[in-house]
Amino acid sequence: MRRFTAVSELLRLTSELPDVVDSPSSLHRAVEQLAQASGPIGVDAERAGSYRYSQRAYLVQVYRRGAPVLLLDPVGIADFSELAEVLHQDEWVMQAAHNDLDCLDEIGLRPDALFDTEIAAQLLGLEKVGLASLVESQLGYEMRKSHGQADWSQRPLRRSWLEYAALDVCALPDLEDALAESLAEAGKTVWAEQEFTHQMRVRPATDPQQRWRRTNSAGRLRNDAQRGALRALWLHRDALARERDVAWHRVVRDQVMVEMAKKLPTSPAQLAAVDKVPKAVVRDASRWLAVIAEGASQPIASLERADGPPARSLRAWEQRDPQAAARWTALRAALTERAEELHVWMQTLLAPDIVADLAWSPAEDPGSRLAELGARPWQVEHTADLFEA
């Protein structure tokens, strides 16, 4: 039974907002209620990535038709094994699962079967695939999205935030029904199943010593000393953010850090002259200047791989290999046309990195190469001929 209704087309809870489950005893009672119901389980999590270094879940929402909405506080509960047993019984329904699977896995919660409403919408070629847009287009309700960027690490959590969190998860089972029906009508159910399985895979951990390479605006650096300085600055910022449990940008923003590496200041006055440098950095100028000097003394070569495609810049491709640039341009145009024919998002049809790899180094057997690079069977079936051509 639905736990929401439309009031002037606005999505609202029809029952009282439940208390937050924040102790082992209250978790046991909540799990018992969840176990008595049946059917797919809506799951969501709220983090505080804009405020905290940690990407942990600060609230977990669970909903199954026939049971109350569960608002679970991982700060007060150390062991979720009892909940995990019940969650293994049925399929999870999530919106943009890639955002939350890792933080849920940290507390021992991982799905055995998944329906991702965002991926389903992309496979259907829907223009807007955010949760609020899908609830409106598929269920006919307006959904206010106002607290997604709140600091969920705060305690106590505000009532308006909890209402928002409960509505996020309550709509998911009905949304699955609507999207699953559309997928079946379009003959895309198997495609969706392959995508959902791929989404549940355990992702390899990134090398912490290489994460600095993804710093926003790092491409503006032009010499090895600047790149060495950026790496040192990134590692220093990371250590400070971890120690204080604050988001990286609250120590110093990427663009400012890149500017520091670009200018390589050697005095407090030069450091203070960097545009938008935080006052806290200027106050601790001696330490930051030492980090810059040490990094610059350990130069790092260009970020581009010598043996693979360059950054996603056509100009860079044309400079390195004009023929590969022409292949890349032609392939992207062909894939765009194919995606329009199939009514799917282009990046859902095939990941841009896979396209770049095959454009840079054409394969004798494109189908096998696509599979090696992680393309799902439905993607290979509908794109291999483009690479053969």
Query: Which pLDDT tens digit goes with each residue over 170-184?
Result: 999 999 999 999 999
* CATH number of the domain where residue 119 is located: 3.30.420.10
Quick one: average pLDDT of 138-150?
Answer: 82
Strand pairing report for 59-64 and 70-72:
antiparallel
- The reply to whether 281 and 342 lie within a common domain is no
CATH number at residue 360: 1.10.150.80
Task: Return the pLDDT at 9.
Answer: 62
- Residue 215 one-letter amino acid: T
Judgement on whether residues 161 and 291 belong to the same structural domain of the protein: no
pLDDT at 66: 92
Are 249 and 355 found together in one domain? no
Task: State whether 158 and 195 are in the same domain.
Answer: yes
Mean pLDDT across 298-306? 72
Evaluate whether residue 261 is within a structural domain: yes
Buried b (16+ CB within 10 A) or exposed e, 176-214: bebbbebbeebebbebbbebbeebeeeeeeeeeeeebee
Q: How many CB atoms lie within 10 A of CB 32?
A: 12
| 125 and 89 both lie in a single domain | yes
285 domain residue, yes or no: yes
Q: How confident is the model at residue 81 (pLDDT cuts 50, 70, 90)?
A: very high
pLDDT at position 126: 97
Phi/psi for 315 (5° steps) reads -60, -40
Judge whether 123 and 192 are in contact, CB under 8 Å.
yes
Residue scoring higher pLDDT (4 or 21): 21
Same domain for 190 and 166: yes
Same domain flag for 177 and 28: yes
Residue 106: the pLDDT is 95
Contacts of 264 (CB under 8 A, 6+ apart): 225, 226, 229, 292, 296
Same domain, 94 and 145: yes
Reference 225, options 132, 126, 295, 285; nearest CA is: 295
Q: What number of CA atoms fall less than 13 Å from residue 351's CA on the CB side?
A: 11
> What is the structure's pLDDT at 124?
98
Mean pLDDT score of the chain, rounded to an integer? 92
DSSP state, 142? B
Does residue 194 lie within any of the structural domains? yes
The pLDDT of residue 219 is 81
Higher pLDDT, 222 or 283: 283
pLDDT reading at 23 higher than 50: yes
- Across residues 70-86, what is the average pLDDT? 95
Mean per-residue pLDDT, 56-77: 95
Q: Is residue 365 part of a domain?
A: yes
Q: Distance (Å, rounded) from C-alpha 246 to C-alpha 280? A: 14
So what's the pLDDT on residue 6?
A: 44
Lowest mean pLDDT among 13-22, 35-44, 70-79, 293-302: 13-22
Residues 32 and 166 in one domain: yes
Among candidate residues 159, 174, 199, the one where a domain is terminated: 199
pLDDT band at 1 (very low <50, low <70, confident <90, very high): very low
35-58: average pLDDT: 95
Alpha-carbon distance 288 to 275, whole Å? 15
| pLDDT above 50 (res 293) | yes
Chosen domain end from 199, 231, 254 = 199
Q: How many helices (H) and strands (E) does the chain have?
A: 19, 7
pLDDT of residue 271: 97
Split into its structural domains, the chain has a count of 3
Torsions phi, psi for 201 (to 5 deg): -60, 155
Average pLDDT over residues 79-104: 96
Instruction: Name the one residue in this structure whose structure tokens are 């046991």.
Output: 28
Structure token pair of residue 389: 């051509």
* Listed residues 174, 199, 224: the one ending a domain: 199
| Mean pLDDT of the region 219-225 | 90
Does residue 208 surpass a pLDDT of 80?
no
Residue range of the domain that includes 166 = 4-199
Alpha helices in the chain (DSSP H): 24-36, 81-87, 101-106, 117-123, 131-134, 159-170, 172-185, 189-199, 224-244, 254-263, 268-272, 279-283, 285-296, 314-320, 322-342, 346-349, 352-360, 366-372, 377-388
Query: Does a structural domain hold residue 151?
Result: yes
Residue of 131, 145, 146, 150 whose CA lies nearest to 48: 150
Chain segment 346-355, per-residue pLDDT in tens: 999 999 999 9
How far CA 108 is from CA of 29, 123, 184, in Å, comes to 19, 30, 32
Looking at the structure, tell me whether residues 219 and 172 fall in a common domain: no
Average pLDDT rounded to a whole number, residues 206-213: 78
What is the pLDDT at residue 8? 36
- Whether residue 83 lies inside any domain: the answer is yes
User: Residue 162 and residue 170: Cα distance in Å, rounded?
Assistant: 12
What is the amino acid identity at position 130?
A: G
Residues 190, 215 within the same domain: no
Q: What is the pLDDT of residue 218?
A: 87
Cα separation, 369 vs 354, in Å, equals 9
* pLDDT of the residue at 308: 62
Mean pLDDT value of segment 197-203:
89
Q: Is residue 382 part of a domain?
A: yes
Answer yes or no: are the C-beta atoms of 92 and 41 closer than 8 Å: yes
Q: Is residue 11 part of a domain?
A: yes
Question: pLDDT category, 311, cuts 50, 70, 90?
Answer: low
For residues 189-214, average pLDDT: 87
At 5 the pLDDT is: 52
What sign does the CA torsion over 231, 232, 235, 236 have? negative
Based on the fold, state whether residues 25 and 62 are members of the same structural domain.
yes
Please give the residue that has the higher pLDDT: either 381 or 304: 381
Q: Where residue 307 falls among pLDDT bands split at 50, 70, 90?
A: low
Which residue, among 112, 83, 118, has the nearest Cα to 97 in the 3D structure? 118
Token duo for residue 311: 């950054």
> How many C-beta atoms lie closer than 10 Å to residue 388's C-beta?
12
The predicted pLDDT at position 79 comes to 95
